[in-house]
Structure 1
Amino acid sequence: MRQPGPPLSAVIDDHGELMPASAASAAGRAPRAGRRGRIDTALFAESLAALLDAGLPVLDALHTLGQRAASPAMAALVAELDRSLREGLALSAALAQHRDVFGDVIVALVQSAERTSNLGESLGRYAADLRAQQAMRRRVLGSALYPAVVVSVGVLVIGFLLAYVVPRFAEMVLSSGVKVSPASRMLLTLSAAMHQSQGITLAILLALAAAPALLFGTARGRALAGRWLGRIPAWGRTVREYHLARFFSSAALLLRGGLPVLRTIELAADTLHGDDRVRIQGVLRRLSAGQDLAGALTAEGIDDHLVIRLVEVGQRSGTLGPQFQRVATLLELEVSRRIDWATRLFEPLLMLAIGVAIGTIVVLMYVPILELATAIE
């Protein structure tokens, strides 16, 4: 979307989904494995779809999945689903008992597919959509992770220079009585102090080296990183467009699965947070009151002209699902464009800043040495 909206803090939740930091502790649409361990729902849907398309009944397909499950957690989950089906539950009802793993979208899709006998096709579309979202999520995450790693490496190099290289010259220069600049004296004094406290210095350097893993490897760390990153307007807009792309992609998937528009918007709204989710709740109220979707989106502030025009076309031609997918594709392209632009711009600037910092240390270190050599001559 071209309207910038407010900055949005983004983190990666325990299941790898990108979500706002303000919602990091809340239950979201993304499935969480909990005590089961991580479960790849895309792999589950892909495998089950392939077996169903091959002509196997649902029970036989689940039994086969259980025999070649990718993990003990997956095997235990498939066994519970198999038991529920043997007790007489439909697959959608069995999946609904594990919403914390699968989420509401796949449950609604399966429930609709059970009425139309295209379960394998619906699961295949769900898996393809989820894989596409995961690929985009990795791009967004990578755009934040790479600079963090570069900064950590740069800080380690600078710390090594200050703690172990500069001190070899600091004592000689400071005790020689040679006049040095205030900047050089400050650098030499700092390096000497760091060298004397080697244990503390080493601990700080190791903590800095582990910072990317701590920030992006835990929910609390991702929440903290999300708050910091959310203050960067360009990053906030990119994450917002990523979430909107997920919203329209999920809505397109649900519409193609046969769900009504109101229920589709309600389920897809779980991919949004903050102001955009409030806007979609307003859209739902307007739809319930009888207003058309394009008018409701415009009235609630989701008024990008391209999006509204595509929605209007979809309403008139009965192709709302494909038009939603086009909107999602356009937003994903915009997110990719922003990431590519930021990468081409920011990475050289980051490397330049680190190079300037290291070069400054080297210059401040060698100028007093040259002055000392001149004085000796």
Structure 2
Amino acid sequence: MSAWEYSALDAQGGKRKGVIEADSGRAARQQLREKGLMPIAVESAHRKSGSNKKWQLSAKVSLRDVTLFTRQLATLVESGLPLEEVLQAIARQTDHKGLNRIIIAVRSRVLEGHTLADALSEFPKTFNELYRAMVDAGEKSGTLGTVLVRLAEHSERLHQLRGKIQLALLYPTALTLVAVAVITLLMTYVVPKVVSQFDHVGQTLPWLTRWMIFISDGLVAYGVFILLALVCVVLFVKWLLSRESRRFVWHRMQLRLPLVAGFIVCQQTLQFARTLGILVGSGLDLLQSLSIASTPVTNLCLRKSVQQASERVREGGSLARSLEQSGGFPPMLIYMIASGEQSGELEQMLIRSAQNQEVEFESRLAWLIGLFEPIIILTMGVIVLAIVLAILLPILQLNNLTGI
């Protein structure tokens, strides 16, 4: 039985889309007619990644939905139900249309005799390499339920971490936007209205007022062009960083910045330690685990360090010594990995190190946001004060002249 993606018309003439299971396209059309639908197009949902861009776009789902799917899958698999029944039950209660299509397509592949990991590999944008490798290890070792529980816990922690970052950045971002909007309004509307009253004075205005008028006139006359220039700069930077060699230089510079270097290293090593610990605990060998664990490391400089460490491990070196020689990783992480290798508890030490890194990451994030907020408020206050002084100084000057 295979999965078929369809588009059809209902009795009211509305267009319906979805995925159904059938032995053939003809059987799929017959099922649609029995449901009172008039099939327009019926195509096989089994498309390799990249062969159908439209299908790939419809297959995108959020991390939250993948996390929920993984938790449901782990719970039902551990209860002893057959995998195809588990997938069918999850598909029936899934509201997300894109995820529902993926689950039905995966179930069809499983019914055809493929492993779950092979079925998931057709959707690499939804299930990443770590996800598929852990599922494959769980199927080969006969501990799929246990591995899925670990994978669900990992996805939930990752989702919580992203949520904390987004929540922490919400207030500073809103504050910055409000500050920019207020200053722009003052410079393009308020300042021109007020300083126009000084045109007939015939006296030289204070230098602060003249500068403010110059900036205000520039924003009014060339504001659109300035905005377009900023967009072009952003697009240029994005193009500049599209090449891996340039991006590597930028990532190396990030690790040298005083305020953000520790923040970046903490976040990257947190991801690396947790991913490696889960992979090692799932039964994968260390070299394969290192190869997959380098994927969440988005900083290319640190990723290269992981790859260099992997080569040293392949040559017979210990993991702790190899990471230390590669450089870039915190000494505490190296120490805990060394302790885990000596005691035979590498998985536990990696997970514990990830937990410690997470606590440090949250404290660094709170400190960085706490530093950023007063800087924005102070900057906005200084600019508004300059605008107010630029308006008041000519008025005070006129009062002095009148008094004389």
TM interval, shorter chain, is: 0.7 to 0.9
- TM-score, structure 1 normalization: 0.78
2:130 counterpart letter in structure 1: V
Query: Quick check: 1:132 aligned with 2:157?
Result: yes
**Residues 265 and 158 of structure 1, relative CA distance in 2, 3 Å threshold:** same
1:89-124 deviations in Å (ceiling 9; x for gaps): 121221223233211212221122224433233212
User: Quick one: which of 310, 331, 334 aligns to 2:360?
Assistant: 334
Q: Per-residue deviation at 1:368? A: 1.0
**After the TM superposition, which residues 271-290 of structure 1 pair with which residues of structure 2 at under 5 Å, given as runs?**
271-272=296-297, 273-290=299-316
Cross-structure match for 1:365: 391
Cross-structure match for 1:310: 336
Query: Quick check: 1:152 aligned with 2:177?
Result: yes
Query: Quick check: 1:96 aligned with 2:121?
Result: yes
Identity of aligned residues (%): 24
Q: Per-residue deviation at 1:158? A: 1.1
Cross-structure match for 2:211: 186
User: Quick one: which of 82, 93, 113 aligns to 1:68?
Assistant: 93
RMSD: 3.2
Q: Per-residue deviation at 1:347? A: 0.9
Distance 1:372 1:365 in 2: 12
Q: Per-residue deviation at 1:34? A: 4.2
Cross-structure match for 2:17: none
**Residues 373 and 194 of structure 1, relative CA distance in 2, 3 Å threshold:** farther
Structure 1 unmatched runs, 5+: 1-32
Asked if the contact 1:279/1:301 (under 8 Å) is kept, the reply is yes
**Residues 353 and 204 of structure 1, relative CA distance in 2, 3 Å threshold:** farther
Distance 2:390 2:329 in 1: 55
Q: Per-residue deviation at 1:343? A: 1.6
Q: Per-residue deviation at 1:303? A: 6.0
Query: Quick check: 1:297 aligned with 2:319?
Result: no
**After the TM superposition, which residues 70-219 of structure 1 pair with which residues of structure 2 at under 5 Å, given as runs?**
70-140=95-165, 146-191=171-216, 194=219, 197=221, 201=223, 203=224
Asked if the contact 1:173/1:372 (under 8 Å) is kept, the reply is no
Q: Per-residue deviation at 1:376? A: 4.2
Asked if the contact 1:45/1:123 (under 8 Å) is kept, the reply is yes
Structure 2 unmatched runs, 5+: 1-54
Higher strand share: 2
Distance 2:215 2:304 in 1: 52
Higher helix share: 1
Distance 1:275 1:348 in 2: 32
Asked if the contact 2:172/2:369 (under 8 Å) is kept, the reply is no
Distance 2:166 2:228 in 1: 21
- TM-score, structure 2 normalization: 0.73
1:115-146 deviations in Å (ceiling 9; x for gaps): 44332332122122122123323444555665
SS in 1 for 2:188: helix
Larger RCO, structures 1/2 (Cα 8 Å, 6+ apart): 1
Matched pairs, number: 334
Distance 1:117 1:309 in 2: 33
Cross-structure match for 1:3: none
Cross-structure match for 1:320: 346
Query: Quick check: 1:38 aligned with 2:64?
Result: no
Asked if the contact 1:252/1:322 (under 8 Å) is kept, the reply is yes
1:307 counterpart letter in structure 2: L
1:25-62 deviations in Å (ceiling 9; x for gaps): xxxxxxxx941253132122112112223443211111
Asked if the contact 2:271/2:354 (under 8 Å) is kept, the reply is yes
Asked if the contact 1:178/1:368 (under 8 Å) is kept, the reply is no
Distance 1:59 1:129 in 2: 24
Asked if the contact 2:71/2:152 (under 8 Å) is kept, the reply is yes
